[in-house]
């Protein structure tokens, strides 16, 4: 075993003696994991749970990590860690506490928490619960879990699966913590299947979502704000943790007033993407609200609210582009509209 790259490239790591209970992450897996993390290791804080020989944490230090916490309780592991860390610079600490106690006593926020327990043990739910409860992960941080290929863990509560990689016998999964609340903003005139797709994508990353029907002074509405809310609510039936609201001012102000830090928007093509990037920059500069863009160019990419409005004004309905629950609502609203309103 050797350090792959960085300050200590080529340095030998003393491996544990043949025991399935102390099974080091292979060089291939270690290289693959750090390839995923890439340049984000420099300056990071890294926890190496079930550290064993300490190869993962030492690799992080070699690549510029600002601090590494090594955790293990095995006597052999403690001896290995101390030997392998001789001559290694950089801020690091060894704790022989149980991983639960180590996480509960860890100070501050960490960028990466690597969890590689013995393959016979399933501790990811315990680790994730403590990490979430104590808020140990930095924004954008990852909980990295290595396990045997034959084991199929579920995604821990409060987290999303960002990536999964297979390296020989091992599978490594990268979990990000779900964020609290996001806003999906738009004129939603009317709400379509494409909009629902964006909401579903948002809910894979956030605990809750607020669909915000906003005023766009550059567009003449077919449906009033209240009618758009009614259509959106019908379209979102079956989705938990979603509410629909109205914003008649700046969406960045709306979000800041409610403590919402992220807006989620969809784009269908390059023109959409360019527009959304400009809007993202505006909302960040004028309110500090971050925008997450969702690529919706697939099955829903050809759906256009503009085309739906044009068809409705001509007396037809493009039902296939609308959610089933919304179709009767739209028909009833249109039946009661005057020619001037259309």
Question: Using an 8 Å Cβ cutoff, are 274 and 240 in contact?
Answer: no
- What pLDDT, on a 0 to 100 scale, did the predictor assign at position 37? 92
DSSP track, 26-42: PHHHHHHHHHHHGGGGT
Query: What burial class does residue 91 get, using C-beta atoms within 10 Å of its C-beta: 0-12 exposed, 13-18 middle, 19+ buried?
Result: exposed
Question: Using an 8 Å Cβ cutoff, are 235 and 322 in contact?
Answer: yes
Residue 20 has pLDDT above 60, yes or no: no
Which residues sit opposite 163 in a β-bridge?
A: 174
CB burial string 51-77: b at 16+ within 10 A, e below: bbbbbbbbbbbbbebebbbbbbebeeb
Within 8 A by CB and 6+ apart from 283, the residues are 251, 252, 255, 263, 289, 291
Task: Pinpoint the residues of the chain covered by CATH 3.40.50.620.
Answer: 180-335
Question: 0.85 exceeded by the pTM?
Answer: no
Within 8 A by CB and 6+ apart from 3, the residues are 9, 10, 11, 13, 55, 58, 59, 62
Task: Pinpoint the residues of the chain covered by CATH 3.40.50.150.
Answer: 27-177
For 319, the token pair is 């039902």
Q: What is the pLDDT of residues 178-209, one digit of tens each?
A: 878 999 999 999 999 999 999 999 999 898 99
Q: What is the pLDDT of residues 279-330, one digit of tens each?
A: 999 999 988 999 999 998 776 778 999 999 999 999 999 999 999 999 999 9
Confidence label for 169 from pLDDT (cuts 50, 70 and 90): confident
CATH 3.40.50.720 assigned to domain 180-335? The reply is no
Residue 333 has pLDDT above 80, yes or no: yes
Confidence label for 23 from pLDDT (cuts 50, 70 and 90): low
Q: Is 190 helix (H, G, I), strand (E, B) or coil?
A: coil
CATH 3.40.50.970 assigned to domain 27-177? The reply is no
> What percent of the chain has a predicted confidence (pLDDT) above 70?
98
């Amino acid at each position: 075993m050797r350090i792959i790259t960085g300050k200590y490239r080529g340095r030998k790591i003393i491996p544990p003696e043949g025991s399935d209970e102390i099974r080091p992450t292979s060089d291939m897996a270690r290289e693959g994991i750090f390839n995923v993390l890439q340049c984000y290791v420099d300056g990071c804080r890294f926890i190496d749970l079930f550290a064993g020989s300490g190869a993962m944490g030492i690799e992080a230090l070699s690549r510029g990590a600002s601090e590494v916490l090594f955790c293990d309780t095995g006597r052999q592991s403690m001896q290995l860690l101390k030997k392998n860390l001789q001559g290694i610079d950089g801020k690091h600490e060894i704790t022989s506490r149980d991983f639960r106690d180590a996480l509960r006593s860890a100070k501050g926020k960490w960028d990466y928490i690597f969890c590689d327990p013995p393959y016979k043990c399933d501790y990811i739910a315990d680790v994730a619960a403590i990490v979430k409860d104590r808020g140990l992960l930095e924004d954008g941080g990852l909980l990295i879990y290595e396990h045997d290929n034959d084991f199929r863990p579920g995604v821990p509560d409060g987290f999303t699966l960002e990536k999964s990689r297979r390296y020989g016998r091992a599978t490594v999964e990268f979990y990000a913590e779900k964020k609290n609340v996001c806003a999906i903003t738009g004129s939603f005139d009317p709400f379509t299947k494409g909009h629902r797709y964006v909401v579903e994508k948002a809910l894979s990353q956030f605990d809750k979502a607020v669909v915000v029907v906003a005023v766009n002074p550059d567009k003449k509405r077919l449906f009033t704000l209240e009618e758009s809310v009614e259509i959106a609510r019908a379209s979102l039936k079956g989705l938990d943790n979603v509410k629909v609201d109205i914003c008649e001012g700046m969406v960045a102000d709306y979000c800041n007033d409610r403590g919402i830090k992220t807006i989620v928007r969809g784009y269908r093509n390059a023109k959409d993407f360019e527009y959304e990037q400009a809007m993202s920059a505006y909302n960040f500069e004028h309110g500090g609200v971050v925008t997450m863009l969702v690529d919706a160019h697939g099955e829903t990419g050809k759906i256009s609210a503009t085309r739906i409005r044009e068809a409705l004004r001509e007396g037809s309905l493009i039902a296939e582009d609308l959610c089933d629950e919304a179709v009767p609502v739209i028909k009833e609203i249109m039946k009661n509209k005057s020619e001037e309103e259309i």
